[in-house]
Amino acid sequence: MEKFSASEHPHLRYNPLRDDWVVVSPHRAKRPWQGQVEKKAVEDVPRHDPKNPLCPGVTRPSGQVNPDYKNTFIFDNDFPALLPGGPDPPKSDDPLFQAAPAHGNCRVICFHPWSDLTLPLMEVADIRIVIDTWANEMVNLGKVNTWVQIFENRGAVMGCSNPHPHCQVWASSFLPNEPSVKHRTQKDFKEKYGKPMLVDYLEKELAKKDERVLLESAHWVWLVPYWATWPFETMLLPRRHVLRLQDLTDDEKNDLAQMMKNLLTIYDNLFEVSFPYSMGWHGAPTGTYLEEDCSHWQLHALFYPPLLRSATVKKFMVGYEMLASSQRDMTAEQAADRLKALPRVHYKHKSDQ
């Protein structure tokens, strides 16, 4: 019988964090594409636009005036998805009509006063200030909220409404679906195997680092997870067992700033475009969980980019993905090989060499 090859034969891969499976169909990677081609995003963004509500000194539609900020600037989202107060829905005995309270705070963090910068184009010292701002928000919002989700949507293709470098923070009184599943799976794993899942996973990935490990630094490892779903999905993990972003040491935060610049530069170099993605941090829950044993958690950042084969061809999670299981063509290892082969200098700075 023909011998199985992961780079040729369809198979399933288990995602132990989400407790689900992804269909991998490597033989399909060469199929012709006649689907949608996204318009290449216009990259000529003015450094300052007096009409852009995220720029320094601008009056937002809410009437609030942004300060003349010099590094990061945080404000309460003028159109928040969650509110700190308000009435709770009534309890129901009917299992088919269940509602629950949802409170929280939504904030916007501008990374830098200039609209024409993105994280990989920023100075490492300025990225470090962003990391400190994230950690502060985790501490402050985490005092009362169960979950603080920091996320960046980059690029119009990801629904980002504004090119100015920024991210969002949604803090909630409840544990949302994704972290709720991860809380359970990591707890079960630690009970069964005696180690935090992602600590064990990183050790095993480092033992065979030529497969999916992309970049290593003193304190961080960037890799394509074995179970990645999006074509160029990656994960960033600390080497040490760290529960939450606010637990990082100064050295780890400095190293993280450099690592983020490096990895996002590689992403931008893939198709020589400001690479669109949704990225975010997952660590142990907060609020009342701060008093509980959360040692099964390991901090990690997730990068979910939608691009597939060029700056203009996007992967859609539709059809089979919506109705059955997620599916990918190129394997995680093939994606890793593509990313590993890319230059480390940002394509916009090529001429500086």
Chain contacts with ligand H2U (rule: CB under 6 A): 53, 60-61, 77-79, 108, 153, 159-162, 166, 168
Task: Please state the closest distance from residue 267 (CB atom) to ligand H2U, in A.
Answer: 18
Q: What are phi and psi of 174, to 5 degrees?
A: -125, 160
Instruction: Rank residues 77 and 136 by Cβ distance to ligand H2U and give the closer one.
Output: 77
Task: Please state the closest distance from residue 327 (CB atom) to ligand H2U, in A.
Answer: 27
* Residue 104 host element (H or E): strand 104-110
Task: Please state the closest distance from residue 36 (CB atom) to ligand H2U, in A.
Answer: 21
Tell me the DSSP string of 22-81.
EEE-GGGTT----S--PPPPP----S--TT-TTSTTPBPTTS-B----SS-EEEE-SS-S
Choose the catalytic residue: 112, 164, 166, 346: 166
Q: How far apart are CA 227 and CA 11, in angstroms?
A: 11
Task: Please state the closest distance from residue 290 (CB atom) to ligand H2U, in A.
Answer: 27
Task: Please state the closest distance from residue 306 (CB atom) to ligand H2U, in A.
Answer: 14
Instruction: Rank residues 71 and 77 by Cβ distance to ligand H2U and give the closer one.
Output: 77
Is-catalytic flag, 296? no
Q: How far apart are CA 331 and CA 319, in angstroms?
A: 20
Smallest CA-to-CA distance from 84 within 6, 1, 141 is with 141
User: What SS3 state is found at 216?
Assistant: strand
Q: How many CB atoms lie within 10 A of CB 11?
A: 15
Instruction: Rank residues 162 and 310 by Cβ distance to ligand H2U and give the closer one.
Output: 162
**Neighbour-count burial of 130, counting CB atoms closer than 10 A to its CB (0-12 exposed, 13-18 middle, 19+ buried):** buried
Instruction: Rank residues 4 and 79 by Cβ distance to ligand H2U and give the closer one.
Output: 79
Give CA 321 to chain center in angstroms. 20
Instruction: Rank residues 8 and 78 by Cβ distance to ligand H2U and give the closer one.
Output: 78
What's the length of the chain?
A: 353
Catalytic residues: 166
